[in-house]
Amino acid sequence: MLGDIGGNMSHLTVAEIERHIRNVPDFPKPGIQFKDITPVLADGRVFTAAMDHLLTGITRDTVDKIVGIDARGFIFAAAAAARLGVGFIPVRKKGKLPFDTHEQSYDLEYGSNTIAIHTDALKPGERVLLLDDLLATGGTASAAVALLHKLGAQVVSVRFLIELEFLDGRKNIAAHDIRSLIKY
Ligand code: AMP
């Protein structure tokens, strides 16, 4: 199903981008329907169109930085930042960033995860677009938003290529504007 972003800037429709998402059943474990975005990345026109749609309504006048979440979020956030001419900020898994960090943990089905951001990554009041490839339970994105709030950043929008709507992850994200391109 089509999501709630997607302008007409691109030559390709969101439905055409959706055709390039490959469903891989039972990866990485039984019962999971893994949404493989590598066919989107592999086709230059589709990748570009996905970027265009993700950036609908976003300009250098509305955001100062684009933040991506380790690891597939980096691909979209870095490409989007370069396209817009704004800075890219990584939110990484714990233990990977070399300088001083803030950390945020969140619960998984079994156990927990911790993500981190450099303490000087953003200045208070900076306007941020947060990007990730996929919204499932919302644990990752809500932890990332918490890190952005710790730095005093203003979260303009949180956007995903894919949203698994049945998991209702957006209810866990404290942000005003949450959008996805393709919903399952
Ligand atoms: P969550 O914290 O539950 O919202 O999970 C989101 C993160 O897990 C994203 O960074 C995704 O890359 C990854 N993820 C979760 N479920 C899937 C899935 N079915 N297919 C692909 N990636 C997934």
Residue located nearest, by CA, to atom 10 of ligand 1: 134
Report yes or no on 39 lying in a domain: no
Report yes or no on 101 lying in a domain: yes
Residue 48 contacts residue 9 (beta carbons within 8 Å): no
The number of distinct structural domains making up the chain is 1
pLDDT digits (tens, 9 = 90+) for 21-51: 999 999 999 999 999 999 999 999 999 999 9
C-beta of 69 in contact with ligand 1 (< 6 A): yes
Distance 61 CA to ligand 1 centre (A): 30
User: Which residues are catalytic, by number?
Assistant: 72, 109
pLDDT of residue 83: 95
Residue 173 belongs to what domain range?
59-183
C-beta of 68 in contact with ligand 1 (< 6 A): no
CATH code of 70's domain: 3.40.50.2020
CA dihedral 95, 149, 162, 53 (to 10 degrees): -120
Please choose from 67, 72, 134 the residue to mutate so as to test ligand 1's pocket, defined by most ligand atoms within 8 A of CB: 134
pLDDT of residue 70: 97
Report yes or no on 88 lying in a domain: yes
pLDDT of residue 175: 84
Residue 182 contacts residue 21 (beta carbons within 8 Å): yes
Contacts of 94 (CB under 8 A, 6+ apart): 103, 113, 114, 115, 116
Report yes or no on 134 lying in a domain: yes
Report yes or no on 19 lying in a domain: no
Residue located nearest, by CA, to atom 16 of ligand 1: 136
pLDDT tier for residue 7 given thresholds of 50, 70 and 90: low
pLDDT digits (tens, 9 = 90+) for 93-143: 999 999 999 999 999 878 899 999 999 999 999 999 999 999 999 999 999
Report yes or no on 132 lying in a domain: yes
C-beta of 134 in contact with ligand 1 (< 6 A): yes
